[in-house]
Amino acid sequence: MSFRQESIEITLLEDPACNWCWAFQPVTTTFFFEFCQPLAEPHFNFRRVLGGLSDRPVIEPTIAQRHWRMIAEVSGMPVNPDIWNRHLLQTTFEACRAVKAASLISPQAAHRLLRKLREAFFVESTPIDNREIILALAGKIDLNVEQLKDHLSSGRADFLFQRDRREASSNKFGFPTMVVSRLGSENREVLHGMVTYDELLQSILRSGFPPHLRQPFKDTREDWIRLFQIHPRLTAAEVRHATGQSGPRLDELVADQGIRLEGAFYSMPQANGQKAAG
């Protein structure tokens, strides 16, 4: 049977404030680079399900801080646990609804807003449980704030979010979870938690995806631009994972490409002027 682009479906269940989803970003960034470039025209049907982690205030901040430090150690992703000393997260549902509202504008808008929310929350100590703050963050990445407001106030975003919640419940609200399936078949593979990229890759290949369509990093100018079109800002852990480079060699490569390190993030101004993946 011949391969058709739409014959394989990848579903990612997640939440903007889930610390393990943030730790999983090096894997998802590599996945987007190798299989979803450009993101608007992936080789298969990609779905993002916002399941909603919690709609209750966090009571014990020291537990959250301990979890954040643990995922930073495990994944290399940057975190700033100090936010818990001055703000206790009230809910993750508002951020989920905002991402679903952005999805009504475009998949790329949802992709960009979800990333912005995570950067703000985990690194920049910005609460993401307040609608006005979320809309301000959306404005910083040039999303149409008025459209977002309309989708949120009309209930359209909440309708999509509640549908996601029902789907997530069938997987017991485990975040992150990736589901790899072939359309028209009852066979599917469910990858729970922070699996390795090799585990995800092997699952995709077992689904029938042609190996020659995978696009691993080749250290060309075009590939560096493609990488920073996934997210305008990338952490060191993401860059190491996607490129396979680290240490002094990585420092040389990013310097040669004019890539800048500002705080916890690398950025490539040349890539931002191109058509962004998100």
pTM tops 0.85, yes or no: yes
The boundaries of every CATH 3.40.30.10 domain in the chain are 5-169
Q: Mean pLDDT across the stretch 115-132?
A: 98
Rounded Cα–Cα distance for residues 29 and 31 (Å): 5
Beta strand spans in the chain (E): 8-14, 45-50, 177-182, 188-192, 233-235, 260-262, 265-267
Give the least confident one: 12-21, 162-171, 268-277: 268-277
Rounded Cα–Cα distance for residues 158 and 87 (Å): 25
Band the pLDDT of 52: cuts 50, 70, 90.
very high
Rounded Cα–Cα distance for residues 14 and 51 (Å): 6
Task: Identify the pLDDT of residue 1.
Answer: 35
Three-state SS for 196? Answer: coil
For 186-220, the pLDDT digits (tens) are: 789 999 999 999 999 999 999 988 898 899 999 99
Cβ pair 39, 32 in contact under 8 A: yes
Which CATH topology does 5-169 take?
Glutaredoxin (3.40.30)
pLDDT at residue 37 greater than cutoff 90: no
Which residue do the tokens 């298969």 mark? 44
Rounded Cα–Cα distance for residues 9 and 43 (Å): 9
Cβ pair 24, 18 in contact under 8 A: no
Q: Pull the structure tokens for residue 153.
A: 């106030």
Rounded Cα–Cα distance for residues 30 and 223 (Å): 12
Band the pLDDT of 149: cuts 50, 70, 90.
very high
